[in-house]
Structure 1
């Protein structure tokens, strides 16, 4: 076959060269995209998770090598500064932190050895240490006395002392033990089988099925309270939403786990958190829960939230932390553009830090944002439009995706300027989700879909305890002791 190009016209040769250059350009772009993905995965696996960026355009570049004489001089200065810092820190030590005053004190008096009959005490020195005594299990025995009337013809019946309310009718565990088991599992991420090992060390024999039943029945007692929280959450005017996965044992899938989802709703103003379990990531669960919701809804870029954000009476807020993450991941693809975008976003967060450091009220925060953040947002908007019109920015590249991510959500990213009480990002709800991630690494999966929903209840309550700095064990113990007798006033 003749492979010569002599028979081709000039126009055909130009078209062929153009096609060759296009193919080469696409291959190079694809290669850059793959290298960027490899770098991203390396950071995810080995690097620190913090997305730190400290750019300064006025900073001079540092030399890669320094002369030997200069190195010696730098070493001497460094050693002098280090020694001075050590002396300064040693002299400025504030002293030991005082021990908590609410703890019980056990006093141990120690007198000198020998004959003290001819001596008089002139003072004493006190040394304190913080110690630990392992928790004790006790048996609480209720002895109820019966009384009968002396006169059998009086018509009065036999009287007996009333048994206090119990969490599990005719069950062994008290409220304190159940609160401890639930706090250990869902608060401190200690699976039940490890707790059984701890009971075994103390020669307390409890079957695994028995403890499973205790957990289930104790959580069922909390359902009325969870229903109240569900109603309150629907009525709140500002929610941050996010979701995370949970593996669930499913009888329909033999030898495999079902991948369910915890949908999480956080109100930064009232500091409430609601976990809602759904078998899928489909929109039906969120749509049912947020049916009739009015107010601000802040989310990431998941399409379901965008649909919910278009409901009447809902103002959708996007998350600047997610937008920043896209540009951070694009650093290896286009460092210059990515750094420019991160500088814009850094200025927005600098305004937020200023507001928090000065403890500004919401109206003052709104004014500060409109005075400073709005200018940055407008400038960044123009810059993004210019970059997207640049043909050198390939749509499939990391920087192209980052630019489009922000451009497509620009109104939602700017909506936090409406009210000084609104957050710039969705980080608070992501922080509330972290205990679930820790828990699933320990107990691995939920036993059923119902068990996953019961776990959602206790995760909700413990997250609220954390937000309000309440001891979860003490709260849960009190709740289990009283929930059956406290009047319920849930919103309809």
Structure 2
């Protein structure tokens, strides 16, 4: 039984594109919520080809060739995004990307009908077929990244820490840690000095009888004006 309750509790009635791996719970979530579409991760596809060749010398060259194709795909997408605001260069680089995607699909189909194709290779290629639509969403929408690396790298600290942090065995501590990581990550995303923000916010709480400030606009980056953002983006001088 696939349990999609956790992602559903986070996403709720939202709509849009969810960049994710191929975990079945995400697929069920998208099935139950038609306004959510899935964009699958190319980094996971790359890993599939590498894993398929482990311990099998006969698949090494095949795997390397596929990793190179994916690397080329990343490169062409990066080159495309560099000229996103340039109407003259954009069509050319967009076309180069689309042509390479077509070549990848063609090679995939050729490999699938190869005689005596190794079972591991066949599974990887079949997965590529099954997830192709979600893997190609970034092509027509440059706002969609090719992978979910940023999210996974951001979660690495909390995931490792959940078994090591003092008090991590209690629900309240886990919830507090989750909120705290969310705050710090949001500040980092907005390039705000975390230490400076925390010091100012806690002092504001003390001044308000140890309660959160009634007006949070000075503490929420997306509600701050440019002068406030600039003030909080000041970094400590080198030690």
Corresponding residue to 1:376 among 100, 103, 115: 100
Residue aligned with 1:485, SS: coil
For 1:292, the equivalent position in structure 2 comes to: 13
For 2:3, the equivalent position in structure 1 comes to: 282
More RCO (CA 8 Å, sep 6+) = 1
Q: Normalising by structure 1, what TM-score?
A: 0.38
- Whether 1:336 and 2:57 are equivalent positions in the alignment is no
Q: Normalising by structure 2, what TM-score?
A: 0.75
Change (3 A) 1:425 1:471: same
- Residues 431-450 of structure 1 mapped to structure 2, 5 A cutoff: 431-440=153-162, 442-443=164-165, 446-450=168-172
For 2:122, the equivalent position in structure 1 comes to: 400
Corresponding residue to 2:78 among 334, 346, 353: 353
| Offset of residue 433 of structure 1 | 1.1
Change (3 A) 1:461 1:379: same
Larger relative strand fraction: 1
Q: Is the 8 A contact 1:301 1:318 kept in 2?
A: yes
For 2:213, the equivalent position in structure 1 comes to: 485
Runs of 4+ off more than 6 Å:
362-366
Q: Over aligned residues, Cα RMSD in angstroms?
A: 2.8
Residue aligned with 1:424, SS: coil
Q: Is the 8 A contact 2:83 2:90 kept in 1?
A: no
Corresponding residue to 2:137 among 390, 393, 415: 415
- Whether 1:476 and 2:198 are equivalent positions in the alignment is yes
Q: Deviations over 1:372-412 (max 9, x none)?
A: 121111121122122222341233x2x22322222210000
| Offset of residue 446 of structure 1 | 0.6
Identify unmatched segments of 5+ residues in structure 1.
1-280
Q: Is the 8 A contact 1:351 1:372 kept in 2?
A: yes
Distance (whole Å) between structure 2 residues aligned to residue 467 and residue 365 of structure 1: 29
Residue aligned with 2:70, SS: helix
Q: Is the 8 A contact 2:167 2:173 kept in 1?
A: no
Q: Is the 8 A contact 2:80 2:94 kept in 1?
A: no
Q: Is the 8 A contact 1:298 1:316 kept in 2?
A: yes
Distance (whole Å) between structure 2 residues aligned to residue 366 and residue 417 of structure 1: 12
| Offset of residue 299 of structure 1 | 0.3
Larger relative helix fraction: 2
Distance (whole Å) between structure 1 residues aligned to residue 160 and residue 4 of structure 2: 26
Change (3 A) 1:320 1:476: same
Q: Deviations over 1:159-187 (max 9, x none)?
A: xxxxxxxxxxxxxxxxxxxxxxxxxxxxx
> What is the aligned residue count?
207
Q: Is the 8 A contact 1:347 1:373 kept in 2?
A: no
